[in-house]
Amino acid sequence: MPVRLASVVATHEQRLSTGIGELDNVLGGGLVPGSLVLLGGSPGVGKSTLTTMALANLAAAGRRTLYVSAEESAAQIRLRAERLSVGDALAIPVVAETDLATVLATLEQERPDVCVVDSVQTLHSGELASASGSVAQVREVAGEIMRVAKSAGIAVLLVGHVTKDGALAGPRVLEHLVDCVLQFEGERERTYRTVRAVKNRFGSTNEAGVFEMRDDGLVEVLDASARFVAEATHAPGSVVLCAMEGARPLLVEVQALVHGSELEQPRRVAAGIDRNRLALVLAVLGRHAGIGLGHADVFVNVVGGIRIDEPGADLAVALAVASAARGRSLQSVAGSPLACFGELGLTGELRSVAHADRRLSEAAKFKLGQVLEPSRYRTLRAAVGAGLAGLDGRSTSDLQLTSA
Ligand code: TYD
Ligand code: MG
């Protein structure tokens, strides 16, 4: 019997705060009871650390928590917990167990408010013959946990491993099943990490948070732009990108190195941006801006281990490479570092990207006097020419700050 929407009772779910502002934001205001959140990230990025910190805060706030680890022993989890300086990590009950049936029985018996399952690929269901981590196993594990979580009102943080290139390989098959998918990005050796929502039934996917890995756990970085701008080198091959991390503007430094190759097939190495995107930018640079990289190795890096997954980064990559190839710094008339953003079209045109106003006000906030961007330059050739010649980019001093 269909019901008119007007007569459907919809209560606004009460949220459980993880005590980590950036994480709550990305979740859309905290964890929703009975929901399943998938946290994907590569090994070493800090998934266990972040989830343990969330439980530590929840435990300190009097919530019932449970940490299920199918990867580490209880002793290893304790050693990590001892390092953390937030909440009450030592109060978290842990279960080191790989058997799904045992975990489900524990969940039904303990009925915590919030549970972490670390990880979905290492739990194993005896019902299936296939190995842990196979698509069938991962589906079964997540499906069964979800069944119990919904019926008992447990908020579950499901940890999933992703491959190096950022794809939620095994967990990809779970994206339609879970309520929220968070991606934890960054590299083990680097300081900075970002968390962003790629799917969220209870909030927007525009939120992202920046963290720094310290000796006592992950710390939210609220002044990321300031740090990256202060560290920018201004040497040939360096440019500041006005990027968007979700709905938030973030200034990051993009660096490039171009060097004559001794290899048959020159190297094209990208860290922090997509490899295929780099290939496209190099092709457009060669074809439409007269900067052919022919037989040179090209390295591009987003400083700090930040990963930028948006087309607005194209122009920064192109300018950094052009500047490195020519051995000339990108000049701004004002003497401040040159900033930029914009997407490259295949015909060499610069295309506008979302949130130009927020990007420009972030640049203005950090006194970056000039921003090369699509409303100012129509083609890559023109922008490269202006950047290398120190011509007038868009001056932020005459901009009205729309959202400062
Ligand atoms: P971890 O959370 O175990 O990563 P994941 O579960 O995603 O594989 O931790 C990642 C790394 O962070 C690990 O190599 C050790 C380091 N680390 C710190 O630097 N500081 C800390 O306080 C903690 C707990 C870990
Ligand atoms: Mg781990």
Cβ atoms of residues 344 and 381 within 8 Å = no
Residue 98 buriedness (CB in 10 A; 0-12 / 13-18 / 19+):
middle
Residue nearest to atom 8 of ligand 1 (CA): 44
Ligand 1 atom with minimal separation from the 49 CA = 2
Residue 392: the pLDDT is 46
Closest CA to 182 of 25, 305, 14, 70: 25
Integer Cα distance of 125 and 122 in angstroms:
10
What distance in angstroms lies between residue 53's CA and the mean position of ligand 1's atoms? 11
Helix (H, G, I), strand (E, B) or coil at 230: helix
Q: Which residues contact 316 (CB under 8 A, 6 or more apart)?
A: 239, 240, 241, 254, 340, 341
Q: Strand runs (DSSP E) across 293-403, as ranges?
A: 296-302, 338-340, 343-344, 350-351, 370-372, 394-395
Residue 115: the pLDDT is 98
What distance in angstroms lies between residue 158's CA and the mean position of ligand 2's atoms? 11
Who lines ligand 1 at CB under 6 A? Answer: 41, 43-49, 80, 83, 188, 213, 215-217
Residue 269: the pLDDT is 95
What distance in angstroms lies between residue 286's CA and the mean position of ligand 1's atoms? 42
Rg, Å, the chain Cα set? 24
Number of helices (H), then strands (E), belonging to the chain: the values are 10, 18
- Residue 344: alpha-carbon gap to chain centroid: 22
Ligand 1 atom with minimal separation from the 159 CA = 6
Encoded tokens for 78: 């304790």
Residue nearest to atom 11 of ligand 1 (CA): 44
Q: Which of 49, 50, 168, 184 to mutate to test the pocket of ligand 1 (most atoms within 8 A of CB)?
A: 49
Which domains are present in the chain? 11-222 (3.40.50.300), 225-398 (3.30.230.10)
pTM, rounded to two decimals? 0.82
What distance in angstroms lies between residue 47's CA and the mean position of ligand 2's atoms? 6
Between the CA of residue 23 and those of 15, 27, 51, 359, what are the distances in Å?
13, 6, 10, 23
Cβ atoms of residues 36 and 158 within 8 Å = yes
Between the CA of residue 205 and those of 40, 70, 193, 271, 344, what are the distances in Å?
15, 29, 17, 24, 24
Residue 404: the pLDDT is 28
- Residue count (the chain): 404
The parts of the chain modelled with pLDDT lower than 70 are 163-171, 333-334, 390-404
Residue nearest to atom 12 of ligand 1 (CA): 46
Nearest ligand, measured from the Cα of 117: 2
Integer Cα distance of 155 and 150 in angstroms:
8
Cβ atoms of residues 338 and 391 within 8 Å = no
Residue 334: the pLDDT is 66
What distance in angstroms lies between residue 217's CA and the mean position of ligand 1's atoms? 7
Residue 206: the pLDDT is 75
